[in-house]
Structures are given as C-alpha cells and as structure tokens.
Amino acid sequence: MTAPQQIRVRFAPSPTGYLHIGSARTALFNWLYARRMGGAFILRIEDTDAVRSTETSYEAILDALQWLGLDWDEGPLIGGPYGPYVQSARQVLYHNEVQKLIERGKAYRCFCTPGELQEMRSDATERGLPPRYDGRCRNLPGDEVERRVMQKAANVIRFRMPAGKTRVYDLIRGAIPFDNVELDDFVLIKSDGKPTYNFAAVVDDAKMKITHVIRGDDHLSNTPKQVMIYKALDYPLPKFAHLPMILGSDKTRLSKRHGAASVQEFRRIGYLRDGLVNYLALLGWAFDDKTEFFTRENLIKKFSLKRVGKNPAAFDPDKLNHIDGEHFKKLSLMEKVVLVFDRLQEHDVFPSDFNVSEWSIAELNDRERASVIERKETNNSHYRDELPRLAIIIKVMGNRLKNLKDAPNMLAYYFKDEYPVDHRAYEEHLSNANTAEHLKALAGELWELETFDRSTIEKVARGLAEKRGISAAAIIHPCRVALTGKSVSPDIFSVIHLLGKEKTVQRLGAAVDHIVGLPKK
C-alpha cells in the first residue's frame, strides 16, 4: 500500500514592506493547516520585484513571523531539501523550465516594443474589448526568432494560451470555470530575464512539492493561468483554497488608512501575540457560532479549511481588544509583571529620579511571592527594586488592566508625576474649598503615621471623615482624583500604600494648592 502523501503548504511573501495583517492571516491559516494535518509549513521569499524588494523588509517579515510563533519547517535560516527558498537564487531553474515550454510549443518569444503594446491596448479599448496582447509574435518563423535573438533584440517569453475553458476547483468556493479567451498570452519571463509571479510561483510550488496552495482571494484571477502552466509542464496539480479578503470599517480592503495594518504596528501598540493570533484566526474562519477564545493548541486541534467562509471578513478593533484582553486575563501574575515591566520601560514610565521604596510582598500568595523573589535574584537592580511593587500593583488593578497596551496610561501615576488626567474629574471633585481642607487634614494625618500599610491608611481616612461629620466618599473621591488624576481607580487605600507616604502627601498638597488657586465663584 502506498503511503499517503505528506501535506505541504507554503507562505510566500514579497519583501516589499512590513508584514501586512492580511498576509499574516494567510500565513497563520497555512501554519494551522500544516500543524493540524501533520504536514510541513514552508516559507519562501518571492523577491522577483528587484526594485521594491529590500533586505530590511525581508528581515522584518522573518521577525514578524517569529514573533507570532509561526515557525516554518523549511525556508530561510533553516534550509531544507528543496532550497534555496529565495526566488532570486533560483533563476537558472526558471530558465530551464521555460525552455521546456518553448521546445514543446507551449511558449514563445515576443519582440513587441512598449509602444506597440500600448497601441494594442488602446486599440482594444476603442473597440470595447479588454486590453490584451494580440498574439502578433505567436507564429514568427523559427529562423526569424533566432535572428532577432542573435541581434540581442529585447524580448519576453509568453505562454501560448490554448483555446477552450479552464476549470479550477477551489476547496472553499467549489468549481470555478474560466474561459481561456479571456486570458491573453501572458508573460512568463520578462525582458530583464526575471520570471513573472505566475511562472515562478508555479515552478517553485511544483519543485517544492506543495500539495495545497492556500492564499488570499486576490490571487483567484491568477489561478487559471497557473493551472495552464502546471498542465503544460506535466506538473501534478495542487489543491487550491482562496481565503476571503479582510475589509476595514468602510467595507474596503484593509489598509493603512484604517489604522494599524502591519504585524509590527500591532506589536508596537502592545497587543499580545496569542491574542492577535486568536483574532486573526477568526477573520474568515469559525469553529462554531459562539466560540471566540482559542489557545494556540486549540486552534491547531479545531482548524479546518471546511469552515473557512467565502464572504469577506470585517476587521473589528473592538473585538480584537476583547479577545486580546481575554488572553491577558489568563496570564499568571508573574507573566503579567514581566510583560508590563517591559512595556513600561519602552514608554519611559520608570524615571530614574522617582523615589522607589522597598515594598513588602506580604499581599502576594506563597506562589506569587516565590516567583517575585526568584526574579529579584536573577535580574538587574532596577528590575529587582520595582518587581515586588509592580506585582502588587497589577494584583490590585485586577481586571481593570484589561490589555497590555493600556498599561503605560493606566499605571503611569504609580511611577511618575506626569500622567494622563481627567479634567472633568478635577472640576467635579477638586473645586470646593471644603475639599481642600479635608485633603489638607488627610495629608497631615498620613504624614504622622509610623505604620504605613493599607489597613492603617483606611482607618485614618474613615476616622477623619467621622470626626469631620462627612461621608467617607467626601474624602475618598477627591483623594482618588488628587493621586491618580482619574475618578476611577483600584481600591484607594491600596493606591495610597503603593504610592508611599511622601508621594501621597506631596500630591495631596498639590491638589490643595490647585483648589486654593481656583477663581472664587
């Protein structure tokens, strides 16, 4: 019995820019299918566009795929049995294959000048026909072709499109017929000797034994041309699956005008890679009509091309934020601490002159405390000083900190004196002379404390409200705005504890000065 053929899929980006989120979705679907089917995921770089291809873009694509966790089984950096995996290094192969087509009468040299080609297009347009090549070099005598080649006349090599129809079977869209009369004799090799996309992709896919071509539906119009090349070269035909396009909010193809459009941008903004991968999987695919949260392992187990839809997928930032938040919520405390610390450092939230105290880690459970102590012993001194405090801050924040990307804005007031403030909260809570007196009294009592822990701070604040004959809220709400710049925060007594005595008293004093300095009503 013959062993079943191994599933082999490929992702073949052009290094002409950063990895677009739509291309990342295509890479993900290929990767998931390979992992689900026990197959191989091949990365190939299609750099035949010498003008736009750059080394920077090449490196950016590899970096983005590595960050997403889409490891490849063959390709750049690791090699494989069918390399090289960069098209510019495979030129001899393309010329050998196109020579076979010429010898079989399936392709021919065309010597038409750019001016003649433009004239053909204009003439066709005037007659209400699609602009196309009119085939005038199709039947040039062999000796004439040879003479012009000897004279080094500029030429391209065109495919000789046969009459009839080409039927493409797509795993997502079913059977799609194409009339060959609509397909002109397209170019295989350009005048500079470089292969066109359609020709190089077919040769590479065949030589790399690709069994399934999974790509965006913008390539659907290329498929009949490629099928004809497969047949002309007696290559086995792979199975095709064309993924639905991704649309922005205005129902046009997702691009930079809709906001972040590349993997690098989403990474810079602060999305988790597993959150982004989860969301990308839902753009055109669904396991059922209710499940949205998937771990990477679950995606591999449940992914199927049968559940990929035909209709365009709408990119929804709110849904991305929700799914990213669900992944952030599932992280352990120390996983959050490490990610948040790096995020805060990237945004310069840790000023070197900010007074950092040694914080008790008594509020952490045994496992969390052990993890903090371990990391304190293995990281740089600034990391060691901040880790226990940051761990408590994140624990106190709870689910208020929904996404990693929000950490700099939401946590800045713990670490620096310049942080986002809600001016409406100032107007509502820091505009009354009586409030200034309450805050001044609170600052005084807090300053006198010898034990500065959460429970003692709460007793002082509530006791002060009782002594003054006011509600605790009359002190707590203004205090919250004075310390955080917001009308909403975690437990204010924990905030005071984490800010420390000196910083709390300083900010309460600044709030008093703010109220006193307001114009009298």
Domain co-membership, 457 together with 509 = yes
Does the pLDDT of residue 64 top 50, yes or no? yes
Does the pLDDT of residue 442 top 60, yes or no? yes
In a domain, 316, yes or no: yes
Domain co-membership, 470 together with 368 = no
**Pairwise pLDDT comparison (418 vs 1), residue with the higher score:** 418
pLDDT digits (tens, 9 = 90+) for 227-236: 999 999 999 9
Whole-number Å distance between alpha carbons of 441 and 496 = 15
Quote the pLDDT of residue 356. Answer: 41
Domain co-membership, 402 together with 353 = yes
pLDDT band at 496 (very low <50, low <70, confident <90, very high): very high
The mean pLDDT value for 202-224 works out to 96
Measure Cα distances from 518 to 244, 423, 427, 487, 512 in Å.
58, 14, 10, 20, 10
The mean pLDDT value for 494-521 works out to 92
The amino acid present at 141, given as its one-letter code, is P
Domain co-membership, 220 together with 263 = no
In a domain, 326, yes or no: no
Domain co-membership, 202 together with 67 = no
Quote the pLDDT of residue 206. Answer: 98
Whole-number Å distance between alpha carbons of 132 and 506 = 76
Quote the pLDDT of residue 359. Answer: 45
Does the pLDDT of residue 520 top 80, yes or no? no
pTM of the model: 0.89
Query: What CATH number is attached to the domain comprising 274?
Result: 3.40.50.620
What's the structural domain count of the chain?
4
Q: Active-site residue numbers? A: 256
pLDDT band at 33 (very low <50, low <70, confident <90, very high): very high
Confirm if 510 and 482 have CB atoms less than 8 A apart.
yes
Q: Among 321, 351, 378, where does a domain finish?
A: 321
Does the pLDDT of residue 193 top 60, yes or no? yes
Structure tokens at 147: 């003479």
pLDDT band at 507 (very low <50, low <70, confident <90, very high): very high
Does the pLDDT of residue 501 top 50, yes or no? yes
Domain co-membership, 401 together with 468 = no
pLDDT digits (tens, 9 = 90+) for 452-490: 999 999 999 999 999 999 999 999 999 999 999 999 999
pLDDT band at 5 (very low <50, low <70, confident <90, very high): confident
Domain co-membership, 265 together with 306 = yes
Whole-number Å distance between alpha carbons of 278 and 286 = 11
Q: Among 243, 265, 298, where does a domain finish?
A: 243
In a domain, 1, yes or no: no
In a domain, 430, yes or no: yes
45: alpha, beta or left, given left = phi > 0 and alpha = psi -120 to 50?
Answer: beta
pLDDT digits (tens, 9 = 90+) for 395-409: 999 999 999 999 999
**Pairwise pLDDT comparison (185 vs 374), residue with the higher score:** 185
In a domain, 521, yes or no: no
SS (H, E, C) 298-366: HHHHHCCHHHECCCCEECCHHHHHHHHHHHHHHCCHHHHHHHHHHHHHHCCCCCCCCCCCCCCCCCCCH
Give the CB-side neighbour count of residue 486, counting CA atoms within 13 A.
15
Residues in the chain: 521
pLDDT digits (tens, 9 = 90+) for 242-277: 999 999 878 888 876 666 689 999 999 999 999 999
Domain co-membership, 110 together with 201 = yes
In a domain, 2, yes or no: no
In a domain, 374, yes or no: yes
The alpha carbon of residue 416 and the mean position of all alpha carbons in its chain are separated, in whole angstroms, by: 30
Q: Among 367, 383, 415, where does a domain finish?
A: 415
Residue 86 gets which letter from DSSP?
B
Give counts: helices (H), strands (E), the chain.
21, 11
In which domain, by residue range, is 202 found? 90-243
Quote the pLDDT of residue 259. Answer: 65
Domain co-membership, 395 together with 313 = no
pLDDT digits (tens, 9 = 90+) for 80-113: 999 999 999 999 999 999 999 999 999 999 999 9
pLDDT band at 357 (very low <50, low <70, confident <90, very high): very low
Quote the pLDDT of residue 354. Answer: 46
Domain co-membership, 205 together with 254 = no
Q: β-strands 156-159, 107-110: how paired?
A: antiparallel
Domain co-membership, 252 together with 123 = no
Does the pLDDT of residue 214 top 80, yes or no? yes
In a domain, 281, yes or no: yes
pLDDT digits (tens, 9 = 90+) for 105-157: 999 999 999 999 999 988 888 888 888 898 999 999 999 999 999 999 999 99
The mean pLDDT value for 292-306 works out to 97
Domain co-membership, 292 together with 367 = no
Q: What does the mean pLDDT of the chain come to?
A: 91
Does the pLDDT of residue 387 top 80, yes or no? no
